[in-house]
Structure 1
Amino acid sequence: MADEVDYETLPSNAGLGVNMIAGAMAGITEHAVMFPIDSIKTRMQVFATSPAAVYTGIGNAFTRISSTEGMRALWRGVSSVILGAGPAHAVHFGTYEFVKDFAGGRAGGNQPLTTAVAGAAATIASDALMNPFDVIKQRMQVHQSEFRSVFTAMRVVYRTEGLAAFYVSYPTTLMMSVPFTAAQFTVYEQVKRLLNPRGEYSPSSHVIAGALAGGVAAGVTTPLDVAKTLLQTRGTSQDSELRRVRGMWDAFRIVWMRDGIKGFFRGMSPRMLMHMPSNALCWLSYEFFKVAIRE
């Protein structure tokens, strides 16, 4: 029998390009498959001015959206994710592996600090690229969105709100994504090491570790995600206060004043439901493509 591929210890001179391609494929796969749940999460987080856009749960949202707007409405904006997710995830995983190697993360043993730093660096780089695409995605996801084309949405948002509209949520995104990714990578690496101490290609361990990592990271960062959604969709609101929201702390103030503590956990269930299987699929795809491309 041929020796199994030790994908964690293959030559580093093939690493960066392989990791970037694997990351791009994983990102597109992850976001495309789970996109309807992401659409429901966005709608549940928005402070709607119309009773028709208020949803009480995942099942309620799915039934009402699909029956009144059609199933296609749940996929509106997916093209923005596909356009942005490939390059952003390529940068994400490429940066992660580069920083991890540079900081000695391959030396062996548990190194949660090195893993967390590498994950945080990866997020800072990838979010700078992905943020405008995420803004457009959420503008297309909201109830009665005027946009059906990514490029039309980009043009209209830029013309009416300027370049700042694409990055008004970037500080909040980083405040959310850095701890999210640090938690995700740390939990993933620890659980993977526990389930797969030999470091072999093991789909089951990648799926379990990825799902647990995604659920933990999604749950603890939901309040920041609520603020991010408020900032990114401000231009679609008919509420003058929401349209004028300026940043993360302003968003927090509005959420607290209007909905109290529960407002910070709007959409947490679909967010966790989205991130657990999507992270499992993302890590499974990533680890698979690392092996497939290198063979």
Structure 2
Amino acid sequence: MSNGSKTALSKSTFHFVAGLGSGVFTAALLQPFDLLKTRVQQSGTNSLSATIADIWAAPRVLPALWRGTVPSALRTGFGSAIYFTSLNAIRQTAARLSPAPASRSAGPRPASSSSSLPKLSNTSNLVAGAVARSFAGFILMPLTVIKVRYESTLYSYTSLASAAKDILAKEGVRGFFSGYGATALRDAPYAGLYVLFYEQSKKRLSALFPAADAADAPSPQTAAAMATPHAATVNFTSGILAGGLCSAVSNPFDAVKTRLQLQPARYRNMWHGAGRLVREEGLRALWDGLALRMARKALSSALAWTAYEELVRRAEVEWGRRRGREEARNQL
């Protein structure tokens, strides 16, 4: 295997591990938001205050709030790992295929950047995010179904194995993919718009901070990098803004998806489920759990992307230094 192939494999492995770590951390930290959202969405009669009161009456409140953490952490952790790895691969490929901008011998100092990731057009960011999320969502769909059922009060699973056996016995393999259509229609636009809004927000917020001195940068790619505290602030704020906005746009698909996964016999498919939900409970039901989802998605996306980007930034600096040392040795 060539050095270039080894480096590419090493970087892909790093993106996978960075995504896994950030996903597991955010899923475990914010599980109560997910649980409350599922309980509110499982029936049109459940209000947030009634759901909280029901959980508060449980013999052990903390375990009740964090019910479903294991499948949630597995699903979100590996989902983030697959998503960030595939997204990085797609964006790197798109960056190589895109025509390079004409270089300038003289001009204004480049704007500081909070990211070491490739810079793409709005359309490329939109498509890359949507494709990567759809792929990760399909791979992790069985864990998503188990996670949602764990969080609801309609099932009493005691382990991941028992949940998988029950679904397989009663619904077959198809049961593990209940609600995938609604999930894809929720996640693809969400992820595509998220990457687009996130990158645009970073671009505008980054202009508020000065770039690092190019002489101190280990490589041209990091010559315009800003200081770590500023970068983390920009990335976290951008994640909050993008996550909140995209959650509001995609919430109807999330509400339908939850019903499909919890009651597949009652809601046969996405269109039937959406129609029945609106007929029986009104348009308002499509926005059940919106505040919880906005809070959870905004925080989880901001935390995951900030942690992921910071790990990548530090790795890129180290990789740049290694390249510099290797080039220096080769010139001797």
TM-score, L = length of structure 1: 0.85
Residue of structure 2 equivalent to 1:252: 274
User: Which letter does structure 2 place at the counterpart of 1:146?
Assistant: S
2: CA distance, partners of 1:180 / 1:222: 10
Identify which range, 124-133 or 194-203, moves more after superposition: 194-203
Deviation of 1:118 after TM superposition, in Å, equals: 0.9
Aligned partner of 2:114 in structure 1 is none
Q: Is the 8 A contact 1:84 1:130 kept in 2?
A: yes
Code of the aligned partner of 1:153: A
Q: Deviations over 1:171-203 (max 9, x none)?
A: 111111000001111111111111125453411
- Contact 2:58–2:64 (Cα < 8 Å) also in 1: no
Aligned residues: 272
Once the two structures are TM-superposed, the CA of residue 254 in structure 1 deviates from its matched residue by 1.2
The residue that corresponds to 2:329 in the other structure is none
For 1:205, the equivalent position in structure 2 comes to 234
Query: Does 1:142 find its partner at 2:152?
Result: yes
Distance 1:160 1:112, change over 3 A: same
In structure 2, the partner of 1:31 is 27
1:5 equivalent in structure 2: none
Task: Give the Å deviation of 1:34.
Answer: 0.8
Amino acid at match of 1:93: F
- Of 85, 90, 94, the residue aligned with 1:94 is 85
Q: Which amino acid aligns with 1:123?
A: R
Deviations 1:57-86 (A, max 9, x none): 2x5432331223532122111111222333
Distance in 2 (alpha carbons) for counterparts of 1:222 and 1:134: 16
Alignment of 1:1-295 (within 5 A): 14-47=10-43, 54-57=45-48, 59-68=49-58, 70-71=60-61, 72-104=63-95, 111-143=121-153, 145-197=155-207, 198-200=224-226, 201=228, 202-234=231-263, 243-294=265-316, 295=318
With 77-86 and 119-128 compared, the bigger mean Cα shift is at: 77-86
Q: 1:60, 1:199 → 2: CA distance?
A: 48
Q: Does the CA contact (< 8 Å) of 2:154 and 2:262 recur in 1?
A: no
Q: Distance in 1 between matches of 2:254 and 2:225?
A: 33
Q: Which has the higher contact order (CA 8 A, sep 6+)?
A: 1
In 1: Cα distance, 2:59 partner to 2:186 partner: 31
| TM-score for the superposition, normalised by structure 2 | 0.76
CA distance in 1, matches of 2:150, 2:296: 18
Aligned residue in 2 for 1:4: none
Q: Distance between the aligned counterparts of 1:149 and 1:164, measured in 2?
A: 20
Contact 1:77 1:150 in 2 (8 A): no
Amino acid at match of 1:218: S
Q: Decide whether the 8 Å contact of 1:136 with 1:150 is kept in 2.
A: yes
Conserved 8 A contact 2:94-2:120: no
The alignment yields a C-alpha RMSD, in angstroms, of 2.1
Assess if the C-alpha contact under 8 Å between 2:79 and 2:137 holds in 1: yes
Q: Secondary structure in 1 aligned to 2:282? A: helix
Alpha-carbon offset, residue 13 of structure 1: 7.0
Structure 2: give runs of 5+ residues left out of the alignment. Answer: 1-6, 102-118, 208-223, 319-332
Please say if residues 146 and 163 of structure 2, whose CA atoms lie closer than 8 Å, have aligned partners that are also in contact: yes
CA distance in 1, matches of 2:290, 2:35: 13
Which structure has the bigger radius of gyration?
A: 2
Partner of 2:330: none
Please tell me the residue identity of whatever aligns with 1:223.
P
Amino acid across the alignment from 2:95: G
Aligned-partner Cα distance in 2 for 1:14–1:193: 28
1:135 offset after TM fit, Å?
Answer: 0.5
Distance 1:247 1:77 in 2: 25
C-alpha deviation, 1:14, in angstroms: 4.9
Counterpart CA distance in 1 for 2:310 and 2:158 is 34
AA at the equivalent of 1:115: N
2:278 & 2:272 partners in 1: Cα distance?
A: 10
Give 2:245's aligned amino acid. Answer: V
